[in-house]
Structure 1
């Protein structure tokens, strides 16, 4: 009789410990979800309050947020992971639709997820994600739901690949700057507009190599951040001249190259850059001056400039910088202060990126390497 009591007690203890273990797992997962939701809300609040600025910072924070989601969530299906990442991407883009790098990074991560899953299941990358869907027949679906070990391997591979993406972001500016000696020669006159950190590092790299050249900086009104670039270059003993935006055409005849940064690269090879860049590009085209764009590939977006609808494409700053409010009582007009210009691909000579030099006509090939067609309309 005591044997049966022993088995009963043993069975009761096992069931109790199993229930406690499952409760612990549920509580732990719930806590992780709460922590992630808190991080997401903090990120959204920072975006809303303008506490994050610059394409690089937006890209890095987006990748870190999605990486945290992937690492700290127990996944049973790859489809659940993809749908959750897409959901996060839609939330972030809705909060900040004028920053395409958020959409770019989410789609880069989705491409990584699909490629790593293809690799683990032994599927060729050129077969595409549709082949994965074909695997999910009734028999294969049961098998996939049971292969938790396989999902763990996939998650580890995805985490490593996303870590490489973060490394690419961090070294992007340095890799671009190291190509400067191939594009700037002795006694050349370089024209730029506004202040781009990428262009600033590009020019300073050449100056550190003791190569003498001259830089003409257009002030880029009404923000006039070209003043900051001119001061920064002058401190490095670079011969720098600051000009008004209206003087761009008159000085273009003595310029050897135009070098600028950009906010994003469109899918057709055009760029979305600071206001005034289109005027600069037209002047360079008139005098046959090479127009060089320094940018990281994380700014390459699969979106097209479908029309010249500025309300959908652009971001508008306060008109107070263009027309002071103290004069508004005597003026009856609508003042528009766009933040960006669209420059078509035919006005661009070459992109200098972290992967080397690229012409606008090669952008379509890079889109196929960085993004998956299945994600084009998913976000």
Structure 2
């Protein structure tokens, strides 16, 4: 039986765990920590985060701890800046992937997707008129209309609302599918808002490339515990999935703040961000 959870709480908690594990890797790789090779690094990381004491405190002097904390704080500041600016940094790559007169299919509302589209349309290097096909609720399309009002009024962007089940029908005229990733997993698969997997399956049938937008803080060290999780439904007898699990073979490219890469190459990002001992399978 699928588990029922509050999706927003789970997603935020997952982001927090990702950041904590990145901090643990930072601690392991500080110069002072490497000198303490006979000290348990997990205990050292816990001590710095206020969760415990080092295994052998007599070998960790105050100077070493101060040096480690300074290096960690510097790295954490960079991580914080990346989290605060990830939408703008990912949008900077939009001109590389969105071409003039593209018809782009999306599902639901995402501020990340909206900014990505806005940046491509407003590019000073070239004008990129785009047709945006929005599948999902009518409220989602209204949100795009509100945020991208200037682009619509300038005739550089056309927003078309299609039905929930019409993705397969319109796919032959679509050039790209654009999706936000809620979590990028070590095997290249990703959690996405519920409903997106159907778009990806239709895109594969019609050989339409799928572009996934993924902030670095949503690259996860954990594999999913379940294939499906449910949230509280809006109506009686309704089955409401928390997220879709999209396999790596359904995605063409993953776009982060550092650029794009194929899903089967995302293991490199996991190795850069996390220590192998922090990954749970």
User: Structure 2 length as normaliser, TM-score?
Assistant: 0.82
Gaps of 5+ in 2: 1-5, 44-54
What is aligned with 1:244? 163
Higher radius of gyration, 1 or 2 = 1
For residue 217 of structure 2, give the secondary structure of its aligned residue in structure 1. helix
Number of residue pairs matched by the alignment: 255
Larger relative contact order (CA 8 Å, sep ≥ 6): 2
Deviation of 1:307 after TM superposition, in Å, equals 5.0
In structure 2, the CA distance between the partners of 1:165 and 1:215, relative to structure 1 (3 Å rule), is: same
What is aligned with 2:274? 371
Aligned counterparts of 1:212 and 1:369: Cα–Cα separation in 2: 37
CA contact (8 A) 1:230 1:240 kept: yes
Note the 1:1-379 alignment, pairs <5 A.
96-99=9-12, 100-116=14-30, 119-121=31-33, 123=35, 132-133=39-40, 141=56, 144-145=59-60, 147-209=61-123, 210-218=127-135, 220-221=136-137, 224-237=139-152, 238-305=157-224, 307-308=226-227, 310=228, 314-320=229-235, 334-377=237-280
What is aligned with 2:48? none
Higher strand share: 2
Aligned counterparts of 1:174 and 1:366: Cα–Cα separation in 2: 20
Deviation of 1:141 after TM superposition, in Å, equals 4.6
Gaps of 5+ in 1: 1-49, 55-95, 124-128, 324-333
Aligned counterparts of 2:131 and 2:38: Cα–Cα separation in 1: 56
CA contact (8 A) 1:319 1:336 kept: no
Deviation of 1:98 after TM superposition, in Å, equals 4.5
Deviation of 1:375 after TM superposition, in Å, equals 2.5
Report runs of 4+ in structure 1 exceeding 6 Å deviation: none
For residue 260 of structure 1, give the secondary structure of its aligned residue in structure 2. strand
Deviation of 1:233 after TM superposition, in Å, equals 2.8
Deviates more, 1:365-374 or 1:346-355: 365-374
Q: Considering only aligned residues, what root-mean-square deviation do their CA atoms show, in Å? A: 2.6
CA contact (8 A) 2:27 2:33 kept: no
